[in-house]
Amino acid sequence: MIEMYDPAHAGECIRETCLKPLGLTVTEAAMGLGVTRKALSDLLNGHAGVSPDMALRLELAGWSTAETWLRMQLQYDLWKARNRTDAEPLKVRQFSEKEPVPV
């Protein structure tokens, strides 16, 4: 599997590929999706991620599939987690088949 380098946040893609071509404002798009303006604004500005509910709403609006939006969000979240610099490194013990798993 090829790892993406600095993938776009799903909100940026929604703004650029869904709202802009149709000339929709955030308020108009939020009303059409059945969400608050704040919820959509938070998503578009990268302050919130695509939830399964939002992914379904985007799909029903004709903007790709729910799976596509969730995959995009997952790629972004995983990239951010792998490249975080503001936290301690993750400390994880590796297990082998020969070792019993501690309970």
* Domain ranges, ordered by start, for the chain: 10-82
- Residue range 47-74: average pLDDT? 97
0.75 surpassed by pTM: yes
Q: Which CATH class is domain 10-82?
A: mainly alpha
Task: Render pLDDT for 42-56 as a digit per residue (tens, 0 to 9).
Answer: 999 999 999 999 999
pLDDT at position 74 over 80: yes
User: CB neighbours of 88 closer than 8 A, spacing ≥ 6?
Assistant: none
Please tell me the predicted confidence (pLDDT) of residue 96: 81
In the chain, what percentage of residues exceed pLDDT 90? 69
> Is the pLDDT score of 101 beyond 80?
no
From the list 59, 84, 74, 91, the residue with the least C-alpha distance to 1 is 74
